[in-house]
Amino acid sequence: MSTQPSSAKRNLKESKIIDAAEHVFSAVGYSNAKMEEVAKRVGVSKGTVYFYFDTKENLYMAVTYRALQTLNEYLYRSLENDRDKKGLEKVMGLVETYMDFCDKYFLYSEVILDYMTLNRSTKFGRDQAKLTDALKESMYYRRVQDIQNLPISLITQELRNGVADGSIKNREQPEMLYLTAWSSVIGFVKLNVAAGSNRQTLLNVDIQQWKNYIVKILRRTLLSER
């Protein structure tokens, strides 16, 4: 008789291990995280964790994959809610959705950014040492690669739609506009977290007003004829 867990049991156990890993990574960071701590939080042996995730890199990529899946679900939901609106409003909805996502799931925003940094720094043969054998062999690393570009594709497509329907006046390359919006939002996310979860202001600026101001500036940028 096979001792392998059923598909349903395996998926449930994997999910619980990923849940525990998220807690540990949030508490101590990836570098300081120990598989023993993950196992302890799940209530299983370290060997059981390694049975499901043979390396810490694979487990981290599993968290990254879940993060991207969650982000994509948020973005699709935003587009569905705004399906009758023009491109400009859809883009602004996506921007605010992403900011809300980062506020609710800071770890997810961090692992996605970590992955993007890794992906860019190792592209075209640079910094290949960062791309370890364990990472390249990770099943979840390959899964992340399959969906990594979806957020960019969704937003740039709506930027093009906005230009086509006349709601977006800026004629800069959509990817340029995307990167401009992305850098503004990432700066907000990083500094907002640095302020601490109980802080309402940063440098005497109300954080919610700052967020609203970023959205306003991005809207003005898209409405600016260039």
Average pLDDT across each block of 10 residues of the chain; the chain has 226 residues. List them in order.
68 95 94 96 95 94 97 97 97 95 90 85 61 82 93 95 96 92 88 67 85 94 87
139, 54 contact by CB (below 8 A): no
Residue 203 has a pLDDT of 80
Q: How many CB atoms lie within 10 A of CB 168?
A: 25
Residue 198: what residue type? N
Residue 10: what residue type? R
Spatial separation of the C-alpha atoms in residues 122 and 109, rounded to whole Å: 20
101, two tokens: 């996502």
Q: What are the boundaries of each domain within the chain? A: 1-53, 67-123+146-223
Best CA proximity match to 218, nearest among 190, 178, 186? 178
Spatial separation of the C-alpha atoms in residues 89 and 96, rounded to whole Å: 10
**Those residues with Cβ within 8 angstroms of residue 67's Cβ, 6 or more apart along the chain or in another chain:** 105, 107, 108, 109, 111, 112
Tell me the CA end-to-end span of the chain in Å, nearest whole number. 69
Superfamily of domain 1-53: Homeodomain-like (1.10.10.60)
Residue 91 has a pLDDT of 97
Domain 67-123+146-223 falls in which CATH fold? Tetracycline Repressor; domain 2 (1.10.357)
Distances (CA, A) of 198 to 6, 36, 190: 44, 31, 15
pTM: 0.88
Residue 4 has a pLDDT of 59
